Structure 1
Amino acid sequence: MLIKPLGRRPYADTVDAMRAFTEARTPDTPDEIWLVEHDPVFTQGLSGKPEHVLDAGGIPVVPTNRGGQVTYHGPGQVVAYPLIDLKRLGIYVKEYVYRLESAVLKVLEARGVTGHRVAGAPGIYVRLDDPFSHAMLTGPMPADDPFRGLGKVAALGIKVSNHRTYHGVSLNVAMDLSPFTRINPCGYAGLATVDLATLGVPADWATVAAQLGDRLASQFTP
């Protein structure tokens, strides 16, 4: 497993490079994990609806071939792109998503933050009133506000082509969160978005990127 910290890269160029890598790889090509920080950009997934972009302002909106709806990438956010051969690893997409989320949960746990999964809404969430509480989410979320009391700290958007993955997961570290108010994040109106800094957890991009890369590698190494 090769972990590649790529630093600050344009979004569109990175997607082109991932697609080229995926199309060119053979059954013997080693898996890789790319760790990137992007310039400000809204990305619109295959299920994206224009009305979920409320006011892009001067931030570009880029259509992309990952699953899901609109999200934001920007400085201070770690974006991890696992380029994994699922067939060789012997897992399916549902297990792949579970392992992506597990890696994020482990990174948060190491900093005392308790992350949560929400059924039907990929990504990782925290309790806004007490992100350090170990209490589990209990009972169904209210239909009129399924994210009541929660903030999203990590988003998922993946593409699988011939059993090979690209795109991936983003974890908010210390960023300007205001662009998230210009969209309905992941298609959910009013969904709060947080980062580690907002939660009172000091962290720098390089350290969190390295930790997330290691956790992802442990999830996807046979």
Structure 2
Amino acid sequence: MVRVLGRVDYAATMDAMRGFTEQRDESTPDEIWLCEHAPVYTQGLAGQAGHVLNPRGIPVLQTNRGGQVTYHGPGQVVAYPLIDLRRLGIYVKEYVYRLEHCVIKTLEGFGITGHRVAGAPGIYVELADPSGHAARTGPRSDPFEGLGKIAALGIKVTRHCTYHGVALNVAMDLSPFDGINPCGYAGLQTVDLAKIGVSTDWDTVAGRLGDKLASHLSP
């Protein structure tokens, strides 16, 4: 079931996800929550304080997801799949692959090509040619050369059940990303669909991403 929550408080939503996951059993139906948050920085379990450069009054909250620091704010679609991986018959690596695939297919619907970077979960776009289909090949001293990050990923799995998830940037104030090393990478540029020339709205992107997730995360 896909639930569209709209604008919700981050801390309350994290508590609700954790409560849902702790109380569920093998018969509990999976859910996918779609929402956006007021401005907030969130630190993953491995998050280093030094990656928060200048929060400028934006709250910094500790979470129990994986990964480093990221930013959530209005104009970003945040998807929280609450999935029983054992029932789905997959492991965490495949789950992450499917999350990224759903973002890539959502971007494809807007004429944008999403890219993966080995060892750096999330989805990236070629800034010089966001719609180009050429694969990134060859060794690179900087794996992020020419890229902007458009979707961040951070998950928690407990008793084979997932929460937290993925955030796709639609039309945001991107300046708060300058206050951190996004996902722990100094100088990594962050973009949204608006910045790369796609004119759309939150509801449209949320609907398409929610459909993709529901399709790829159902038994």
Give TM-score, length-normalised by structure 2: 0.99
Return the offset for 1:139: 1.3
Aligned to 1:160: 157
Deviation at 1:64, TM superposition (A): 0.2
Query: Residue in 1 aligned with 2:100?
Result: 101
Equivalences for residues 1-222 of structure 1 within 5 A? 2-142=1-141, 145-222=142-219
CA distance in 1, matches of 2:13, 2:139: 38
Residue 221 (structure 1) shift: 1.0
Q: How many Å apart are 1:140 and its aligned residue?
A: 2.4
Distance 2:114 2:204 in 1: 19
Unaligned runs of 5+ residues in structure 1 are: none
SS of residue paired to 1:43 = strand
Partner letter of residue 219 of structure 1?
H
Amino acid at match of 1:3: V
After TM superposition, give the deviation of residue 156 of structure 1 in Å.
Answer: 0.2
The two structures, once aligned, show a CA RMSD in angstroms of 0.5
3-state DSSP class of the match of 2:200? Answer: coil
Instruction: Give the residue type in structure 2 aligned to 1:52.
Output: H
Give the partner amino acid of 2:194. Answer: A
CA distance in 2, matches of 1:168, 1:203: 22
Letter paired with 1:90: G
Distance in 2 (alpha carbons) for counterparts of 1:37 and 1:16: 15
Misfit runs of 4+, over 3 Å: none
Alpha-carbon separation, structure 1, partners of 2:209 and 2:171: 15
Gaps of 5+ in 2: none
TM-superposition CA deviations, 1:122-172 (whole Å, max 9, x none):
000000000000000101231xx2211000000000000000000000000
Counterpart Cα distance in 2 of 1:187 and 1:60: 18
TM-score normalised according to structure 1 size: 0.98
Quick one: percent identity of the two aligned structures? 72
How far off its partner does 1:33 sit? 0.1
The 1-side partners of 2:57 and 2:200 are apart by 28
Q: Distance in 1 between matches of 2:138 and 2:74?
A: 36
Q: State the aligned residue count.
A: 219
